[in-house]
């Protein structure tokens, strides 16, 4: 078989795969990350040759003097294909120093950030990177050596959001042969041969030895990664169902205020889970809030859940705090944003999509009695001074709740409602120019409450933001009247 037929065979194999999988729909505009190496050069040429609409993107990492020459070669290669190229620059060493991370990780972050910005600017639906089967094998071995769990040996995902990796079924040897056959000039990053780096040592020492001992080891490792990925998907689904079973909703009807910043689980139910499900579930809870736990932290947390009545942990990077107290394990973002003052339309609708709530105020007759801690109340508009607005609770604030004698601290009333700390930070206080009028789900102030079926009152509903709110509001009204 000739060298030319080998390149054609690779192109035909990729064409069939992309048509069958629809990894890249034919009408998509694709941004291709191009470093100038064999893998990315091969990918750009293949996608262009197969008729996809492509744009190249190259980021100068600011690390080596050769970077400018590589950028020039990428530009010339793209010009020869008639492909537009987006170019960028990042001071990767400075980024690494600023964030306290390795240069390799800093470069990866800078590349993906640049790719996403370029894709948005150029109207590309997908971003294609040139990871190969060889990268999958190296990644699996790297994570195994570090003691990773199953999630670390699933290799590199074929798709993650808008990022696709079409070459995961091909080896690096195939991309090199493709470029050599077609006479493409390719660059080689010196760091790829720096044996002081773990990945380079795996690439040039470990994998070649494995191939000698077990021919086809690279392909076998890639198959193992795919098998692990399938198993992981099942285990994750089991863990997700278990989390739902263990979930506790301490904020009741106000839970929508904090669904983006806290998760509360019942310790007694967690203790009945299999070890694998418990490990996976607790880590999934932290990840759902934007944090992560490594294996040692997971082990410490599980020990605390089993044996310590009260304990506290912080996720990697300090993004999530986990607290064990009594029968509850509370996962909460370390930093919970609160909203600024927001005017309320009365009558009318007010939506706060960022904080996931809405209010609806309608004019109608007041009922004979009204609940004190509902998400619906009736206000007397004649007792509301200069309109309504929402804000957070102020320190030391007081008010007289409906049905109480004298004023009380609002913090005490909220504490009696047994809301979580996150909910106490997020719950809006509805005010007029005099002060608090209503705290939804907690208390209505006596001074503004509509009395004994007055003909004109403001029926005020507070609920979650979203498409079902109107239906929720109508259901609440029908059950309360």
Q: In the CATH scheme, what is the code of domain 247-333?
A: 3.30.465.60
* Angular region, 394: left φ>0, alpha ψ -120 to 50, beta rest: beta
23 pLDDT above the threshold of 70? yes
- SS3 call for 161: coil
Q: How confident is the model at residue 179 (pLDDT cuts 50, 70, 90)?
A: very high
193 with 113: CB under 8 angstroms?
Answer: no
DSSP assignment of 131-143 = --HHHHHHHHHHH
The pLDDT value recorded for residue 476 is 37
Please give the average per-residue pLDDT across 375-403, as a whole number.
90
Pairwise CA distance, residues 433 & 436, whole Å = 9
Is the distance from CB of 441 to CB of 252 less than 8 angstroms?
A: yes
Nearest to 331 by CA among 416, 425, 418, 243: 243
Q: What is the CATH code of the structural domain delimited by 342-480?
A: 3.50.40.10
Question: For the segment 313-346, what is each residue's pLDDT rounded down to a tens digit?
Answer: 888 778 899 999 899 999 999 888 777 789 999 8
* Annotated binding-site residue numbers: 35-40
pTM: 0.75
Task: Give pLDDT, residue 233.
Answer: 95
Domain ranges of the chain: 3-221, 247-333, 342-480
Residues constituting the chain: 481
Strands 126-128 and 262-266: unpaired
pLDDT for the residue 478: 35
Q: Which of 239, 244, 246 is nearest to 277 (CA)?
A: 239
Q: What is the pLDDT at residue 191? A: 65
User: Could you read off the pLDDT of 303-318 as tens digits, one per residue?
Assistant: 999 999 888 888 877 8
Shared fold status for 247-333 and 342-480: no
Give the pair of three-digit tokens for residue 471. Answer: 């239906």
Number of C-beta neighbours around residue 83 at 10 A = 18
| Residue 259 half-sphere exposure toward CB, CA atoms < 13 A | 11
Sole residue written with tokens 């194999």:
13
Annotated binding-site positions for ATP: 35-40
Burial class (CB in 10 A: 0-12, 13-18, 19+), 449: buried
Mean per-residue pLDDT, 177-181: 94
Q: Please report, rounded to a whole number, the percentage of residues in the chain having pLDDT higher than 90.
A: 61
Pick the CATH number of 3-221 from 3.40.50.150, 3.40.50.620, 3.40.50.720, 3.40.50.880: 3.40.50.620
């Amino acid at each position: 078989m000739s060298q030319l037929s080998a390149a054609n065979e690779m192109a035909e194999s990729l064409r069939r795969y992309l048509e069958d999988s629809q990894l890249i729909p034919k009408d998509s505009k694709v941004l291709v990350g191009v470093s100038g190496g064999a893998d990315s050069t091969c990918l750009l040429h293949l996608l262009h040759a197969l008729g996809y609409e492509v744009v190249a993107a190259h980021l100068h990492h600011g690390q080596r003097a050769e970077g400018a020459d590589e950028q020039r070669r990428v530009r010339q290669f793209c010009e020869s294909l008639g492909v537009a190229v987006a170019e960028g620059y990042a001071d990767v060493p400075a980024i690494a120093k600023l964030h306290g991370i390795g240069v390799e990780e800093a470069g990866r972050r800078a590349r993906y950030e640049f790719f996403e910005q370029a894709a948005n600017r150029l109207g590309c639906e997908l971003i294609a990177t040139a990871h190969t089967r060889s990268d999958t094998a190296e990644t699996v071995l790297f994570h195994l050596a570090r003691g990773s769990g199953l999630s670390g040996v699933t290799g590199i995902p074929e798709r993650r959001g808008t990022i696709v990796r079409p070459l995961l079924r091909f080896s690096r040897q195939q991309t090199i042969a493709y470029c050599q056959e077609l006479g493409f000039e390719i660059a080689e990053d010196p760091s790829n041969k720096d044996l002081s780096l773990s990945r380079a040592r795996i690439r040039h020492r470990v994998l070649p030895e494995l191939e000698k001992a077990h021919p086809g080891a690279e392909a076998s490792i890639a198959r193992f990664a795919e098998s692990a990925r399938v198993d992981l998907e099942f285990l994750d689904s089991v863990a997700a169902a278990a989390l739902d079973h263990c979930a506790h909703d301490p904020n009741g009807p106000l839970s929508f205020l904090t669904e983006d910043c806290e998760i509360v689980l019942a310790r007694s139910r967690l203790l009945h889970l299999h070890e694998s499900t418990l490990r996976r579930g607790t880590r999934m809870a932290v990840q759902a809030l934007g944090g992560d736990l490594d294996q040692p932290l997971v082990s410490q947390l599980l020990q605390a859940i089993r044996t310590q009545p009260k304990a506290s942990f912080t996720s990697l990077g300090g993004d999530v705090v986990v607290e064990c107290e009594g029968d509850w394990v509370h996962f909460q973002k370390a930093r919970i944003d609160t909203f600024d003052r927001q005017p309320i339309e009365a009558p009318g609708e007010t939506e706060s999509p960022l904080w996931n709530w809405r209010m609806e105020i309608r004019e109608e007759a007041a009922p004979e009695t009204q609940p004190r801690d509902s998400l619906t109340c009736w206000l007397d508009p004649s007792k509301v001074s200069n309109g309504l607005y929402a804000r957070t609770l102020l320190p030391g604030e007081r008010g007289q709740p409906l049905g109480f004698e004298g004023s009380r601290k609002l913090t005490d009333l909220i504490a009696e409602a047994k809301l979580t700390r996150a909910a106490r930070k997020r719950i809006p206080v509805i005010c007029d120019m005099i002060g608090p009028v209503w705290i939804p789900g907690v208390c209505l102030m006596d001074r503004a409450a509509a009395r004994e079926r007055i003909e004109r009152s403001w029926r005020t509903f507070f609920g979650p933001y979203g498409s079902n709110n109107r239906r929720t509001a109508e259901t609440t009204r029908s059950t309360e009247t």
